[in-house]
């Protein structure tokens, strides 16, 4: 994260089937705190994703999530619409972010009724203060449809393919900065062209087909 902007976040997966008792949850919490301390990353920048597997213990999972929030982490429910990532889990955990399962999202984006359904779900989560992510966005058309649904964020090959860190982060930042500079350069060029065109219109004389003051031979 050190090579990314201060607003960048790290999403980390947690398999809920591992949390069978209080000891397993406490061990995971200790591991998280050790990694954060050694890396110098603040808890606010780490989003803890609860994946779609069935939980080992609902009570233990809830306690684990509450402890994460107490440390300052944001919590996400991953792959909503798949396996055990359902409304019951969302209502129990009260996540900050809900990530929609990629296969389910792709299926719904393929039809107008599906897009309408996604739009309504995004709206309902937004009203509860929950941000949303569409996973599995692979084409430009899907990206446009996702935007029309009002989703908070998207994830998929349409944006970038998975890469190893930290080198990939640096390349991503460099590419983003290069794209920003190209966009600014393009805007400046268009402005200059517009100014030049206006100047030509202002100084060009109005010419008619007649010539005055010429003597005939």
Q: pLDDT tens across 9-56, in order?
A: 889 999 999 999 999 999 999 999 999 998 888 999 999 999 999 998
| Residue 175, pLDDT above cutoff 70 | no
* Between 211 and 84, the higher pLDDT residue: 84
Share of the chain above pLDDT 70, in %: 76
| Residue 89, pLDDT above cutoff 80 | yes
Which pLDDT score, from 0 to 100, does residue 208 have? 46
pTM over 0.75: no
Q: Can you give the C-alpha Rg of the chain in angstroms?
A: 27
Give the E-state strand segments of 19-156 in sequence order.
46-50, 74-80, 97-100, 131-134, 153-154
Strand, coil or helix: 88: helix
Are 101 and 79 contacting, i.e. CB atoms less than 8 angstroms apart?
yes
Are 118 and 81 contacting, i.e. CB atoms less than 8 angstroms apart?
no
Which pLDDT score, from 0 to 100, does residue 211 have? 36
The CATH number of the structural domain formed by 10-161 is 3.20.20.450
The domains of the chain are located at 10-161, 163-203
* Between 184 and 211, the higher pLDDT residue: 184
């Amino acid at each position: 994260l050190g090579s990314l902007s201060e607003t960048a976040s790290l999403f980390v997966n947690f398999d809920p089937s591992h949390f069978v008792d209080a000891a397993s949850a406490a061990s995971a919490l200790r591991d998280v705190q050790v990694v954060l301390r050694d890396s110098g990353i603040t808890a606010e920048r780490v989003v803890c994703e609860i994946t779609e597997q069935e939980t080992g213990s609902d009570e233990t999972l809830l306690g684990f999530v509450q402890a994460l929030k107490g440390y300052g982490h944001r919590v996400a429910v991953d792959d909503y619409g798949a396996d055990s990532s359902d409304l019951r889990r969302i209502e129990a955990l009260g996540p900050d972010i809900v990530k929609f399962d990629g296969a389910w999202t792709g299926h719904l984006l393929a039809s107008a009724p599906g897009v309408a359904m996604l739009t309504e779900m995004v709206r309902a989560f937004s009203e509860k203060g929950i941000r949303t992510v569409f996973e599995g966005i692979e084409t430009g058309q899907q990206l446009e449809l996702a935007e029309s649904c009002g989703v908070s964020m998207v994830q998929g090959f349409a944006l970038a393919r998975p890469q190893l860190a930290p080198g990939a982060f640096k390349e991503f930042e460099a590419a983003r900065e290069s794209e920003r500079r190209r966009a600014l350069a393009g805007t400046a060029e268009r402005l200059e062209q517009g100014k030049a065109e206006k100047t030509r219109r202002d100084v060009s004389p109005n010419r008619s087909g007649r010539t005055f003051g010429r003597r005939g031979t």
